[in-house]
């Protein structure tokens, strides 16, 4: 226990610059999360400013789908952010365990997160790192909470800027094109619309739209290739949801939904249509039709050559038939479950 009374219970995660702990605050009788810079990072003024900026950003935000900040203190001589502890798991962890979510749940999740981003943008904050690893799901209700504002940008004119330039920050498979190449436009609220598109694409299909064996290969896809159609991996997805996801992932910020608030309205309207059963027949028919077509094709192939799909050489298999191995940290680490 330290001078502030926090008793560390366990380490929740660790990266190159900091660690997160579950701790108990005996003064208020509650569990908290402590985000603390590692000793090796304490002398970096940009990292210190980033932690302080994260605390200030969260302090300006009051939203049920954003993790709350309690304090910014020095523990053991190290700057430490005291955050709300969320019992549950990340969206990344759930997708790895269970695979894609049902369309209705994707829409509900998206509406809540779009509302949280709209509140952040209204407060002059751009998250810049929206991805499944930064979405926490409460254990009992499943309610999503946006977390980790460590890369957030303060859009207010008087905001203090970081001194480091020319460095890349973010997850290669989840960044927007304008975060890679300024010729696509400025980083702003539309960047978070893109990040939410990445997150919902993953929730709907069980995979990211872009992946590469190296970070550079992934970034090349982000700036030069269109995302694969989500229904190629999730045939039962309502077509309007596919269209909305692809608009969120437009290379040009101006071609995406105009704001997080507008995106929340679109998601809510589509959620109501799904709840009313508008796509129920299509959701059941689409996979069946694909299975029938695939069965007919396989039968024809076997009749013609006596071979089977299992006999095909690895290079002859269609792309996207298996799980994707992703580079880097967070969501881009490990393998996601293939679509069900």
Give the pLDDT score at 294.
41
Query: 21, exposed or middle or buried, with CB in 10 Å at 0-12, 13-18, 19+?
Result: buried
Q: Looking at 129, 148, 154, 192, which residue is catalytic?
A: 129
Query: How confident is the model over 93-112, as pLDDT tens digits?
Result: 999 999 999 999 999 999 99
Entry pTM: 0.80
Nearest to 117 by CA among 243, 263, 267, 271: 263
Q: How confident is the prediction for the chain on average, in pLDDT?
A: 82
The CB-based long-range contact list for 6-12 (8 Å cut-off, 24+ gap) reads: 6/32, 6/34, 6/75, 6/82, 8/34
Q: How many other β-carbons are positioned within 10 Å of the β-carbon of residue 334?
A: 11
Using an 8 Å Cβ cutoff, are 58 and 166 in contact?
no
Q: What is the pLDDT of residues 163-197, one digit of tens each?
A: 445 556 778 999 999 999 999 999 999 999 999 99
Residue 50: Cβ within 10 Å count: 22
25 is known as an active-site residue: no
Q: Is the pLDDT of residue 140 over 60?
A: yes
- Mean pLDDT check: name the lowest of 35-49, 249-263, 287-301: 287-301
What percent of the chain is predicted at pLDDT more than 90?
Answer: 64
Residue 114 pLDDT grade (very low, low, confident, very high; cuts 50, 70, 90): very high
Greatest mean pLDDT among 26-40, 238-252, 302-316: 238-252
Q: According to the model, what pLDDT value does residue 315 have?
A: 34
Q: How far apart are CA 24 and CA 10, in angstroms?
A: 10
Euclidean distance between CA atoms 242 and 257, whole angstroms:
14
The partner residues of 23 in beta bridges, in order of sequence, read 8, 32
Three-state secondary-structure class, residue 122: helix
pLDDT at site 160 = 54
User: How many Cβ atoms sit within 10 Å of the Cβ of residue 113?
Assistant: 29
Confidence band, pLDDT 50/70/90 cuts, at residue 158: low
pLDDT over 70 (residue 309): no
Per-residue pLDDT at 2:
55
């Amino acid at each position: 226990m330290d001078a502030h009374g926090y008793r560390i219970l366990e380490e929740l995660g660790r990266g190159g610059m900091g660690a997160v702990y579950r701790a108990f605050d005996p003064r208020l009788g509650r569990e908290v999360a402590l985000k603390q810079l590692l000793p090796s990072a304490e002398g970096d003024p940009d990292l210190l400013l980033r932690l302080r900026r994260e605390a200030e950003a969260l302090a300006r935000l009051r939203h049920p789908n954003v993790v709350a900040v309690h304090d910014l203190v020095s523990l053991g001589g190290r700057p430490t952010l005291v955050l709300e502890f969320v019992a549950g798991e990340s969206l990344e962890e759930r997708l790895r365990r269970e695979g894609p979510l049902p369309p209705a749940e994707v829409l509900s999740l998206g509406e809540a997160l779009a509302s949280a981003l709209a509140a952040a943008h209204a407060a002059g904050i751009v998250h810049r790192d929206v991805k499944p690893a930064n979405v926490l799901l409460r254990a009992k209700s499943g309610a999503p909470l946006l977390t980790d504002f460590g890369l957030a940008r303060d859009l207010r004119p008087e905001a203090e800027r970081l001194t480091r330039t020319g460095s890349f920050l973010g997850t290669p498979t989840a960044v927007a094109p304008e975060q890679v190449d300024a010729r696509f436009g400025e980083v702003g609220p539309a960047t978070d619309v893109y990040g939410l598109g990445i997150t919902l694409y993953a929730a709907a299909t069980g995979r990211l739209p872009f992946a590469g064996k190296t970070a550079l290969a992934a970034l090349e896809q982000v700036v030069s290739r269109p995302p694969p159609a989500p229904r190629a991996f999730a045939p039962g997805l309502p077509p309007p949801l596919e269209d909305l996801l692809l608009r969120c992932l437009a290379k040009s910020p101006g071609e995406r939904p105009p704001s997080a608030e507008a995106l929340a309205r679109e998601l809510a309207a589509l959620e109501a249509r799904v709840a009313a059963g508008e796509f129920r027949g299509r959701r059941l028919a689409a996979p069946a039709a694909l299975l029938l077509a695939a069965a007919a094709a396989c039968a024809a192939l076997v009749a013609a050559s006596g071979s089977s799909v299992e006999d095909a050489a690895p290079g002859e298999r269609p792309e996207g038939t298996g799980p994707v191995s992703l580079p880097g940290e967070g969501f881009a680490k490990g393998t996601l479950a293939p679509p069900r």
